[in-house]
Amino acid sequence: MLDIDFVVRSKRRNISDRVENAWRHEQKSPARSWPVIRDLPSRVRGEFARRRPDTQATERGIHPGVPQAVSKRKRGPRMSKFTVPGLSDDQGARVADILQKRLSAYNDLHLTLKHIHWNVVGPNFIGVHEMIDPQVELVRGYADAVAERIAALGKSPDGTPAAITRDRTWDDYSVHRDTAQAHLGALDLVYSGVVEDNRKAIAETGDLDPITEDLLIGQTGELEKFQWFVRAHLENSGGSLSTNGAHSEKQAASQTR
């Protein structure tokens, strides 16, 4: 008769031996252990995962020391093995990082402008509604130009919603359905923040990459021009802005109603 207990013990011994073999490979060379681990039957691989120290990481498919090509770990934007002529790899990476912040700012800005376009109401509705759309297209174009510059520098531009959340140093636009004046007051503060950050980026890239500096200078000049259009609605005959002293969008909106 077939000895069931003997068969079970043999299978367990086989699993244990294979786990120990995988463990030896792991200890000797983590990077080279992956093919051994990968080829184990699922039951044996599961037993190996339970016994190794980094159990949670292994169960998620993350194997320390395993080359990225075979790991299931999510990868962030990666640099190419080149950048534009005249810049070192480190300089190209630094400029690309600066531009990534501008890309996220532009993506957030054109969405904010569309939000205002949809939510403005009141006597001056049509003027502001129609004034916003050309600026939306302009800012989208800026995002595209910055993203392409990042790619030319050898890095992957990140245009995802997660990138906006990760990169921004500002809060979500806080005004919803409201009058044209209220939205323009809030938008004045938004543009002040974007322009100030652009000017910092211009100063940073000046010594690193004049081409990127020139790109940002041209974009910032047009953004400042649109802010002038916005402020023309908020300025009194004495030259003062109704948003003067406001520290938040809601406060600026309240002061201009």
Residue by residue, DSSP assigns 48-93 as: HHHHSS-HHHHHTT--TTS-TTT--------B-S---TTS-HHHHH
27 vs 80: which has the higher pLDDT: 80
Q: Which of 11-20, 79-88, 211-220 has the highest mean pLDDT?
A: 211-220
Whether the predicted pLDDT of 97 surpasses 80? yes
d(CA 250, CA 21): 64
Mean of pLDDT over the chain: 83
Residue intervals of the chain classified under CATH 1.20.1260.10 are 89-256
Lowest-pLDDT choice from 38-47, 203-212, 239-248:
38-47
Which pLDDT score, from 0 to 100, does residue 151 have? Answer: 97
CATH topology of domain 89-256: Ferritin (1.20.1260)
Instruction: Report the distance separating Cα 234 and Cα 13, nearest Å.
Output: 81
Least confident of 72-81, 97-106, 178-187, 197-206: 72-81
The proportion of the chain whose per-residue pLDDT surpasses 90, expressed as a percent, equals 65
**The pLDDT of residue 107 is above 60:** yes
Instruction: Give 57-67 pLDDT, tens digit per residue.
Output: 444 444 444 44
Burial of residue 116 (CB within 10 Å: 0-12, 13-18, 19+) is buried
Helix axes 249-256, 180-206, angle to 10 degrees: 140
- Helices and strands (H, E) in the chain, number of each type: 10, 2
pLDDT for the residue 68: 44
> Residue 257 — pLDDT band, cuts 50, 70, 90?
confident
Cα separation, 69 vs 58, whole angstroms: 16
Q: How confident is the model at residue 81 (pLDDT cuts 50, 70, 90)?
A: confident
Most confident region among 17-26, 34-43, 212-221 by mean pLDDT: 212-221
- Structure confidence by residue, pLDDT tens digits, 134-150: 999 999 999 999 999 99
Judge whether 94 and 100 are in contact, CB under 8 Å. Answer: no
Mean pLDDT lowest for which of 32-46, 109-123, 208-222? 32-46
Q: What is the pLDDT of residues 147-163, one digit of tens each?
A: 999 999 999 999 999 99
Question: What is the rounded average pLDDT of the residues 68-83?
Answer: 58
Residues 6 or more apart whose Cβ sits within 8 Å of residue 20: none
Q: Residue 55's pLDDT is what?
A: 44
